[in-house]
């Protein structure tokens, strides 16, 4: 390339440059639209849940909705108290967390502090497969395997019960808690471990007294996100926990959760704007608010531990 | 470990420190055992689940089951419509979620200028990943089905699941692009490339394998999703196939199938599970085997891909 042609190239025809710049702008704005779609989806969720359920609150007061103890919107006389559904959700989620938190934390501590690389390579795919099982298959498992198994020990257990659904849901959440907690534990710097070993601590003492507290915000964030997952889980509870809204914290009872109610109503004929249609959006609104609160707390906790080291 | 300390001094009484060491080591080993037990619980559940499915469903699982339509008679019913429906819905999901997700991921990682607006997008992506799937179903019911009048079609279902997969694709894209060292970007710019040339001709090819892994994992979740599709009112009794996308006459490609009513495997399984007759539960188990095999196959492809990439790519 001669000097003259080089200088010509530098002072390229403005037209070509303009086209190139326009092309860049165009690509950037297309990519921006892609990213903005996430914001649009969030807005759409809020707007749709709000507008479709607003009709319900013209006839039902918020006070009745949140404090009523009977949920029978499709019967005469209609009752719009959401507490029974919330009660079902809380009970099943509590059982699930009762299973998932100890097992998930133990697996996380074991994998991050005790297990060799070889064990880790084998265990992680198993957990991933467990996380990948479709929830409808878990529901089938809870109804047709876990419930009959529990009925051997507890003969009075009804066919639909919160216990089996909660237990299976717990196993489903284990991989999420264990993998997130393990990530948090492995990001604890080795100097802390070495200091603890130098002071004569065993592996367990190091894991429990040093690593676990140091990783606690990450670990607790995994618990909170686990709660949010349990609250939003649908298929297991609608298959195995029953569809009757009842106020009961007894795991051996059958009860509907918020999500199960949405499924139950959706299975029937659902004209646009009918009472049933409005109630599922109202329940959905409460559901999304609950999970949003948990997710926000969870992510806030997670960011905190990231900044620590 | 504990015995090596205690055995030589078995005749003389142990000092308090030795006792404490033995005790603490024993506790540590005990916890190690608890860890193995926890993993075994998870593994046993998985094995029990698979065994239960196979014991109940395997006799039913044959060619006739895979090639028959749903039927009121349990013994004649099959999953053909559901299988085809699942594949077509996944096609729509992949075709929409993958380009948008990759675009969003690239924008957030390479283009965005850090300001309040980009923080807003970030928060939205993390929150969307945590929204319960049934809420997407409600969104689809209100927005796609009634406002856009798309009905209970394959298009509606595919778009609904695309919303679910979108955060997964975005996160996968961002992580794999972030892992590419900046020397590659600088080298590309030094050759006079524009930003879009750098991103599409250089970053994307390198990130492709990891993005693909994320996409497959996202789709394997979506194929098993039931709740959002139940909400939009997916039919379970479908005794016909949607029009074929490839036609024998001009213009050879038809998009009529997008508007067709559909059913998918998890919904078909849910429908059979919720019936009291045990013959239908056998069908549910067989459908469960098909569904589980599909998701496991996709998952193992993803795990294998990731393993290969981790081995071959070293920056």
Query: Do A225 and B129 form a contact (C-beta atoms < 8 A)?
Result: no
- Scanning chain B, the segments in alpha helix (DSSP H) are 2-6, 16-57, 63-66, 80-106, 116-130, 133-140, 154-178, 182-190, 195-197, 204-223, 227-231, 265-273, 278-312
Q: Among B58, B83, B101, identify where a domain stops.
A: B58
Chain mean pLDDT for chain A? 86
A-chain CB neighbours of B99 within 8 Å are 34
Q: Residue A211: enclosing H or E segment and its boundaries?
A: none
Whether B292 and B160 share a structural domain: yes
**Which of B58, B84, B104 delimits the end of a domain?**
B58
Task: Specify whether B43 is located in the same domain as B83.
Answer: no
Interface of A with B in 285-304 (CB under 8 A): 287-288, 291-292, 294-296, 298-299
- B66 with B54, same domain: the answer is no
Contact A276, A265 (CB under 8 A): yes
Q: Which residues contact B269 (CB under 8 A, 6 or more apart)?
A: A136, A137, A140, B226, B284, B287, B288, B291
Q: What is each CA distance from A78 to A64, A106, A247, A275, A279, in whole angstroms? A: 12, 47, 17, 10, 12
Q: What is the pLDDT of residue A89?
A: 92
Please give the pLDDT value at position B1.
43
Same domain? For B47 and B67 the reply is no
> Looking at the structure, do residues B21 and B129 belong to the same domain, yes or no?
no
**Confidence band for A92, pLDDT divided at 50, 70 and 90:** very high
Strand partners, B153: B261
Interfacial A residues in 163-182 facing B (CB < 8 Å): 171, 174-175
**CA dist., res. B112 & res. B134, Å (int):** 31
- Segment A80-89 mean pLDDT: 88
Distance from CA of B200 to the nearest CA of A (A): 10
pLDDT one digit per residue (tens) for chain B, 315 residues: 444 444 454 557 778 888 888 888 899 999 999 999 999 999 999 999 999 999 988 888 887 777 777 777 767 777 888 888 888 899 999 999 999 999 999 998 888 877 777 788 888 888 888 889 999 999 988 888 888 877 788 888 899 999 999 999 999 999 889 888 889 999 999 998 888 889 999 888 888 888 998 899 899 989 988 889 888 877 666 666 776 666 666 666 666 677 777 888 898 888 888 888 888 888 889 989 999 999 988 888 888 888 888 777 666
pLDDT at A172 over 90: yes
Cα angle A24, A26, A27; round to 5:
65
B132 and B13 both lie in a single domain:
no
> What is the tens place of the pLDDT at every residue in A287-298?
999 888 888 888
On whether any CB of chain A is under 8 Å from the CB of B59, the answer is no
Count of domains in chain B?
A: 2
Same domain, B9 and B46: yes
For B261, the token pair is: 């009513």
- Can you tell me the ipTM of this complex? 0.85
Instruction: Read off the pLDDT of each residue in A196-201 and give the average, rounded to a whole number.
Output: 91
Instruction: Give the dihedral of Cα atoms B79, B81, B84, B86; nearest 10 deg.
Output: -80
Distance CA A173, CA B40 (A): 16
CA pseudo-torsion sign B81, B86, B91, B93: positive
Query: Which of these, A40, A69, A73, lies nearest to A56 by C-alpha position?
Result: A73
For residue B34, say if its preceding peptide bond is cis, omega within 30 degrees of 0.
no
Q: Is there a single domain that holds both residue B185 and residue B96?
A: yes
The pLDDT, as a whole number, for residue A12 is 58
pLDDT in tens, A22-70: 988 999 999 999 988 888 998 999 999 888 888 888 888 888 888 877 8
Distances, alpha carbon A148 to alpha carbons A21, B43, B120, B276, in Å: 68, 20, 48, 15
CA distance A241 to A264: 12
Contact assignment for A291 to B130 by CB distance below 8 Å: yes
Q: Could you tell me which chain A residue has the CA closest to the CA of B102?
A: A34
- Of A44, A292, A252, the residue nearest A164 (C-alpha): A252
Based on the fold, state whether residues B207 and B274 are members of the same structural domain.
yes
B61/B78 Cα distance (integer angstroms): 9
CATH number reported for the structural domain that contains residue B241 in this entry? 1.10.3720.10
Asked if B33 is an interface residue toward chain A (Cβ–Cβ < 8 A), one would say: no
Under an 8 A CB cutoff, do A295 and B127 touch?
A: yes
Q: Which of B58, B75, B103 is the last residue of a domain?
A: B58
> Measuring CA to CA, which residue among A53, A29, A73, A200 is closest to residue B25?
A200
* b/e sequence B38-49, b meaning 16+ C-beta within 10 Å: bbebbeebbeeb
B293 and B197 housed in the same domain: yes
**pLDDT recorded at residue B254:** 66
User: What is the spatial distance between Cα B300 and Cα A115, in angstroms, rounded to a whole number?
Assistant: 23
Domain holding B44, by residue range, is: 2-58
Residue B233 to residue A51, Cβ atoms within 8 A: no
Q: Looking at the complex, does the CB of residue B223 fall below 8 Å from at least one CB of chain A?
A: yes
Say what the pLDDT of residue B195 is. Answer: 87
Q: How many CB pairs under 8 A join A and B?
A: 273
Length of chain B: 315
Which residues contact residue A210 at a Cβ distance below 8 angstroms, ignoring those fewer than 6 apart?
A188, A192, A193, A195, A196, A201
> CA angle B201-B202-B204, nearest 5°?
85
Angle (nearest 5°) at CA B159 between B158 and B162:
90
Taking CB atoms and an 8 Å cutoff, what residues of chain A touch B46?
126, 129-130, 133
Same domain, B68 and B181: yes
Q: Is B246 helix (H, G, I), strand (E, B) or coil?
A: strand
Q: Do B49 and A133 touch (CB under 8 A)?
A: yes
Flag whether residue B144 sits within 8 Å of chain A, measured between CB atoms. Answer: no
How confident is the model at residue B4, as a pLDDT? 47
Residues B168 and B234 in one domain: yes
Closest in B39, B146, B295 to A107, CB measured: B39
Label the pairing between strands A79-80 and A71-72.
antiparallel
CA distance A242 to A164: 11
- The verdict on a CB contact (< 8 Å) between A129 and B103 is no
**Residue B231 touches chain A, beta carbons under 8 Å:** yes
Q: Report the pLDDT value the prediction gives residue B3, as an integer from 0 to 100.
A: 46
> What is d(CA A99, CA A279) in angstroms, rounded to the nearest whole number?
32
- Model pLDDT, residue A8: 57
CB contact under 8 A, B134 and A126: no
């Amino acid at each position: 390339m001669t000097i003259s042609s080089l200088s010509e190239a530098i002072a390229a025809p403005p037209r070509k440059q303009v086209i190139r710049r326009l092309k860049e702008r165009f690509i950037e704005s297309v990519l921006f639209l892609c990213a903005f779609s996430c914001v649009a989806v969030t807005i759409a969720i809020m707007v749709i849940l709000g507008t479709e359920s607003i009709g319900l609150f013209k006839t039902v007061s918020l006070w009745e909705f949140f404090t009523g103890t009977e949920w029978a919107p499709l019967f005469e006389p209609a009752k719009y108290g959401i507490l029974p559904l919330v009660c079902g959700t809380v009970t099943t989620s509590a059982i699930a967390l009762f299973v998932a938190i100890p097992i998930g934390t133990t697996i996380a501590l074991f994998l991050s502090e005790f297990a060799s690389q070889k064990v880790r390579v084998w265990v992680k795919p198993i957990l991933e497969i467990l996380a990948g099982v479709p929830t409808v298959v878990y529901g089938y498992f809870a109804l047709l395997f876990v419930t009959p198994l529990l009925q051997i020990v507890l003969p009075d257990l009804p066919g639909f019960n919160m216990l089996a659904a909660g237990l299976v849901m717990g196993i489903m959440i284990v991989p999420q808690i264990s993998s997130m907690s393990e990530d948090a534990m492995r990001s604890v710097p080795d100097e802390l471990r070495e200091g603890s070993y130098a002071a004569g601590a065993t592996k367990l003492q190091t894991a429990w007294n040093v690593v676990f507290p140091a990783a606690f915000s990450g670990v607790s964030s995994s618990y909170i996100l686990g709660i949010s997952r349990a609250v939003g889980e649908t298929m297991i509870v609608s298959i195995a926990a029953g569809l009757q809204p009842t106020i009961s914290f007894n795991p051996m009872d059958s009860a509907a959760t918020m999500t199960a109610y949405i499924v139950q109503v959706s299975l029937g004929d659902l004209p646009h704007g009918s009472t049933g249609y409005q109630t599922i959006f109202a329940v959905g609104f409460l559901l999304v608010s609950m999970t949003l609160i948990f997710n926000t707390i969870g992510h806030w906790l997670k960011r905190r531990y990231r900044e620590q080291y | 470990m504990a015995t090596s300390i205690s055995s030589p001094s078995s005749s003389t009484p142990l000092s308090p420190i030795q006792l404490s060491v033995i005790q603490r080591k024993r506790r540590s080993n005990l916890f190690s055992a608890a860890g193995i037990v926890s993993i075994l619980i998870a593994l046993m559940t998985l094995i029990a689940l698979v065994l239960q499915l196979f014991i109940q469903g395997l006799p039913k699982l044959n060619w006739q089951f895979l090639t028959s339509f749903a039927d009121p008679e349990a013994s004649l019913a099959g999953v053909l419509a559901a299988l085809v429906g699942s594949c077509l819905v996944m096609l729509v999901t992949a075709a929409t979620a993958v380009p948008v997700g990759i675009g969003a991921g690239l924008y957030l990682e390479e283009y965005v200028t850090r300001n309040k607006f980009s923080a807003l997008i970030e928060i939205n992506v993390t929150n969307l990943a945590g929204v319960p799937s049934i809420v997407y179903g409600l969104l689809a019911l209100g927005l796609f089905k009634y406002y856009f009048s798309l009905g209970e079609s394959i298009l509606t279902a595919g778009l609904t699941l695309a919303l679910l997969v979108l955060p997964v694709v975005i996160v996968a894209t961002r992580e794999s692009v972030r892992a590419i060292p900046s020397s590659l970007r600088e080298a590309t710019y030094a050759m006079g490339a524009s930003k879009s040339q750098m991103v599409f001709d250089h970053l994307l090819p390198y990130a492709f394998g990891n993005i693909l892994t994320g996409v497959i994992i996202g789709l394997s979740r979506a194929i098993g999703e039931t709740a959002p599709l139940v909400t939009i009112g997916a039919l379970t009794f479908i005794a016909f196939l949607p029009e074929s996308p490839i036609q024998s006459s001009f213009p050879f490609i038809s998009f009529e199938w997008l508007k067709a009513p559909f059913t998918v495997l998890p919904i078909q399984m849910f429908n059979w599970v919720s019936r009291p007759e045990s013959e239908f539960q056998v069908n549910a188990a067989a459908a469960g085997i098909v569904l589980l095999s599909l998701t496991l196959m996709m998952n193992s492809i993803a795990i294998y891909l990731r393993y290969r990439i981790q081995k071959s790519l070293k920056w």
